[in-house]
Structure 1
Amino acid sequence: MVRFMAFMQRSASPQFSLARGGIARLGVLGLLALLAGCEGEVTMDLGTELPADPNITQVVADIRGLEFTKSGGGTETMEFRGSEQVDLIDLADDNGVLRLFTSEQLSEGTYTGVRLLFDEDRADDAFVSTFAGTQFPLNLADSAPASLSFQIEDNESSSESFTLLLDLRKSLSFDEDTDEYTLTPTLRAVESSEMSRIEGNVSVTCLSGTLERGAVYLFQNSDVTPDDIDGAGVEPFATSPIFTVGGGFVYALRYLPAGSYTMAVTCIGNDDEPLTDEDLLFRNVVNVDVDDGETITRNLP
Structure 2
Amino acid sequence: MNTSFRKAVLLPAAVLLLGGCDARLTVDLNTNPPADPAITRVDASLRGLDFRKADGSSDTLEFRAGELVDLLDLQDAGTFRLFTDETLPAGRYTGVRLLFDEAEDDNVVARGVVESPLLLQEGAYAAVDFQVEDDESSDESISLVLDLRQSLSYEDAADEYTLTPALRAVPTGAAARIEGTVAAACPTGTSLADGGAVYLYAGNGVTPDDVDGAEAEPYATTRVRVDGAAPSYALGLLQAGRYTLALTCRGNEDERGASDDLGFCSVVDVEVGEREVLRRDLN
Instruction: Give the SS at the match of 1:16.
Output: helix
Greater shift after overlay, 207-216 or 189-198? 207-216
Match of 2:11 among 8, 16, 30: 16
Aligned pair 1:244/2:226, yes or no?
yes
2:32 counterpart of 1:52: no
Kindly state the Cα deviation for residue 9 of structure 1 after the two structures are TM-superposed. 4.4
**Which stretches of structure 1, 4 residues or longer, exceed 3 Å deviation after superposition?**
8-11, 14-20
Which of 213, 216, 225 is matched with 2:207 structurally? Answer: 225
CA–CA separation in structure 1 for the residues paired with 2:37 and 2:125: 27
CA displacement, residues 14-50 of structure 1 (integer Å, 9 cap, x when unaligned): 5435489xxxxxxxxxxxxxxxx97211100000011
Q: How does 1:167-186 map to 2 (within 5 A)?
A: 167-186=147-166
What SS class does the counterpart of residue 120 from structure 1 fall into? coil
CA contact (8 A) 1:19 1:103 kept: no
Change in CA separation of 1:158 and 1:19 when aligned onto 2, cut-off 3 Å: farther
| Corresponding pairs, count | 276
Give the TM-score of the pair, scaled to structure 1: 0.88
User: SS where residue 89 of structure 1 aligns?
Assistant: helix
TM-score by length of 2: 0.93
Partner of 2:111 in structure 1?
A: 130
Tell me the C-alpha RMSD between the 2 structures. 1.7
Q: CA 1:256–1:9 in structure 2 vs 1: closer, same or farther (change >3 Å)?
A: farther
For residues 163 and 173 of structure 1, do their structure 2 counterparts lie closer, same or farther at Cα, with a shift above 3 Å needed? same
Aligned to 2:75: 92
Unaligned runs of 5+ in 2: none
Equivalent position of 2:55 in the other structure: 72
Instruction: Please show how residues 124-273 of structure 1 align to structure 2 within 5 Å.
Output: 124-131=105-112, 133-208=113-188, 209-212=190-193, 213-273=195-255
Which one has the largest radius of gyration?
A: 1
Per-residue CA deviation, residues 106-125 of structure 1 (Å, 9 max, x unaligned), is 00000000011011342x32
Instruction: Look up the SS of the partner of 1:170 in the other structure.
Output: helix
User: For structure 1, which segment, 164-173 or 9-18, has the greater mean C-alpha deviation from structure 2 after superposition?
Assistant: 9-18
Is the CA contact 1:10–1:98 (under 8 Å) kept in the aligned structure 2? no
Question: Residues 261, 64 of structure 1: CA spacing in aligned structure 2 closer, same or farther, 3 A cutoff?
Answer: same
Instruction: Give 1:83 shift.
Output: 1.4
SS at match of 1:56: coil
Q: Deviations over 1:221-258 (max 9, x none)?
A: 00100000001111000001001133420000111010
Sequence identity of aligned pairs in percent? 49
Could you say which residue in structure 2 is the equivalent of 1:32?
Answer: none
Partners of 1:99 and 1:56 in 2: CA distance: 24
Q: 1:269 and 1:136 mapped to 2: Cα distance?
A: 22
How far off its partner does 1:195 sit?
Answer: 0.7
Indicate if the aligned counterparts of 2:102 and 2:119 stay in contact, CA closer than 8 A.
Answer: no
Partner Cα distance (1:216, 1:169) in 2? 11
